[in-house]
Amino acid sequence: MVKKITTAKRKPRFDPRAFLSTIGKGRDMMFFQKKDKIFAQGDSRDGLFFVQTGRVQLSVVTENGREATLGILGQGDFFGEGGLAGQLLRMSSATALTDCVLLHVERAAMMQAMSVEPKLSALFVKYLLKRNIRYQDDLVDQLFNSSEKRLARVLLLMAHFGKEGVSEMSVPRLSQETLAEMVGTTRSRASFFMNRFRRLGFINYDSDSLRIHSSLLNVLLQDDDEISAGAGPKNSTSRSPSEAPPEPGGPADKDRAKRPRLRGLERLHG
């Protein structure tokens, strides 16, 4: 007598990347053109977004109309997740810096998936922890580093440097006003340091893109005195050619305390 062997059907393994790359219940793929507003500060929250392709700018505006850029997001980043923590309104605005493909996940769908799928929950928590560390580094960077080093760090992070073997990355070009907002300095200082970086071969740019070379890391690894010793612009002004425009408020760059080198970027050196 031949016994029949029956096997129970195994539940397919959950792939969090597949969940975040396909449409389904509570998930919609959305397309935005360059400069499109994804959501505005003060809008009611309606879920979170996962960047499939493109770049997204997060910004906030004060009551008197001053705008500050919080960050530039790219492929694999989440944003707009405040509703998962109970926020009723968007605390920032999101704008497409380039043509974008975004996956919009409704709050209920995300909460349900994380409750039954540990891999998705672990992926999301890991991302939030990494971003929290990034925000802490941003704060320490503002307190301890010169505006030149802060600008170099912003450019390196925008290019997602940190993987060995990558020597140059291209990113969408931002206005100098936007870079100044991200760095926490004036437009004139941001322009001065961008010109210096280009002259030294650390960056190059045209009307649409900015090419960032890994050698820009040297700015972070050197002391401020070593950086200032570099050659300045050829066109002389009333100030020293190698002297950046003054920055009102806060400690002077030369008076900032020393701080440990930033995590995650040193691997490019050497």
Q: What mean pLDDT, rounded, does the chain reach?
A: 81
Q: Are strands 168-172 and 209-213 parallel, antiparallel or unpaired?
A: antiparallel
Cα 218 from Cα 223, distance rounded (Å): 10
According to the model, what pLDDT value does residue 227 have?
A: 54
According to the model, what pLDDT value does residue 250 have?
A: 58
The segment(s) of the chain belonging to CATH 2.60.120.10 are 19-135
What is this structure's pTM?
0.74
Q: Which CATH architecture has domain 19-135?
A: Sandwich (2.60)
According to the model, what pLDDT value does residue 182 have?
A: 87
Encode 71-104: b = buried (16+ Cβ within 10 Å), e = exposed: bbbbeebbbbbebbeeeeebebbbbbbbebebbb
The segment(s) of the chain belonging to CATH 1.10.10.10 are 146-268
Contacts of 133 (CB under 8 A, 6+ apart): 263
Q: What is the CATH number of domain 146-268?
A: 1.10.10.10
Q: What is the mean pLDDT of residues 30-54?
A: 93
- Per-residue confidence band for 141, with pLDDT thresholds at 50, 70 and 90: confident
Query: In residues, how long is the chain?
Result: 270
Encoded amino acid at 126, one letter: K
- Per-residue confidence band for 3, with pLDDT thresholds at 50, 70 and 90: low
